[in-house]
Structure 1
Amino acid sequence: MSRYYINLHNKGRTDAGAVIGYDKPLRTFFLQGFFEEDSEVDEPEIWIGTCLEEFPTLESIVEEARSSGYEIGGLKHADVIAMLAEAGHKHEPTIWERNGLIF
């Protein structure tokens, strides 16, 4: 699983510690951001890309974030290339999938 720190913008706010990446076992890109500092629960405000093959392309997750009012900034060109290379490899089904435990 790759993780790259980005700036995530929403409604005049910026989360400089947001994360985007690629999850090999789930074969999806993911995005997490806006953790509440005062909250007792470490749940992000946005966390997408948690299901099998939910966002197979980087473009698809960026579009989903935008449709929810989020803009991604600070993503380095080298990080984009690394994520695309990771996503471009053929990944065999996991043991969980082969046994019907992940849908």
Structure 2
Amino acid sequence: MSRYTITLLKGERTDDEAVIGFDPPLRTFFLQGFEADDDFGTPEIWLGTLLEEFPTLEGIIEAARRQGYEVRGLERADMIALLAEAGHDYEPSIAEKLGFIL
């Protein structure tokens, strides 16, 4: 699983510790930002938690934009590495084969 630190903007707010990456077992890109102050530390935005939810980098960035967020600071080399990782064929996980992940 890859994980890159980015800057996430929403209105006047900025999160310099947001992350974007690729999760091979779920075969999806993910994005997390603006950690909540609750006991669980659940991010305000957390995309890419379902199987094949965001198969493209462009798709997850567009989904964030539709919610009012802007992604900044993702370096070209990091984008290439993310796309290369997403380009592999990944076998279904045991949980997926057993029907625990749909």
Q: For the superposition of Structure 1 and Structure 2, which TM-score range results when normalised by the shorter chain?
A: over 0.9
Which SS does the other structure have where 1:33 is aligned? strand
Residues in 2 aligned to 1:50 and 1:40: alpha-carbon distance in whole angstroms: 20
Q: Out of 39-48 and 69-78, give the one that drifted further.
A: 39-48
1:18 aligned partner, one-letter code: A
Unaligned runs of 5+ in 2: none
Q: In structure 2, what is the equivalent of residue 26 of structure 1?
A: 26
For residues 9-24 of structure 1, the aligned pairs below 5 Å read: 9-24=9-24
State the aligned residue count: 102
Q: In structure 2, what is the equivalent of residue 72 of structure 1?
A: 71
Which SS does the other structure have where 1:62 is aligned? helix
Which stretches of structure 1, 4 residues or longer, exceed 6 Å deviation after superposition? none
2:16 aligned partner, one-letter code: A
Residues in 2 aligned to 1:95 and 1:51: alpha-carbon distance in whole angstroms: 16
2:23 aligned partner, one-letter code: D
For residues 29-40 of structure 1, the aligned pairs below 5 Å read: 29-36=29-36, 38-40=37-39
| Structure 1 residue 17, shift from structure 2 partner | 0.1
Listed one character per residue, the Cα deviations across residues 48-68 of structure 1 (whole Å, up to 9, x for unaligned) are: 100000000000000000000
TM-score between the two structures when normalised by the length of structure 2: 0.96
Listed one character per residue, the Cα deviations across residues 13-71 of structure 1 (whole Å, up to 9, x for unaligned) are: 110000000000000000000013x5433111000100000000000000000000000
Q: In structure 2, what is the equivalent of residue 52 of structure 1?
A: 51
Residues in 2 aligned to 1:16 and 1:62: alpha-carbon distance in whole angstroms: 16
| Structure 1 residue 80, shift from structure 2 partner | 0.3
Identity percentage over the alignment? 63
TM-score between the two structures when normalised by the length of structure 1: 0.95
Unaligned runs of 5+ in 1: none
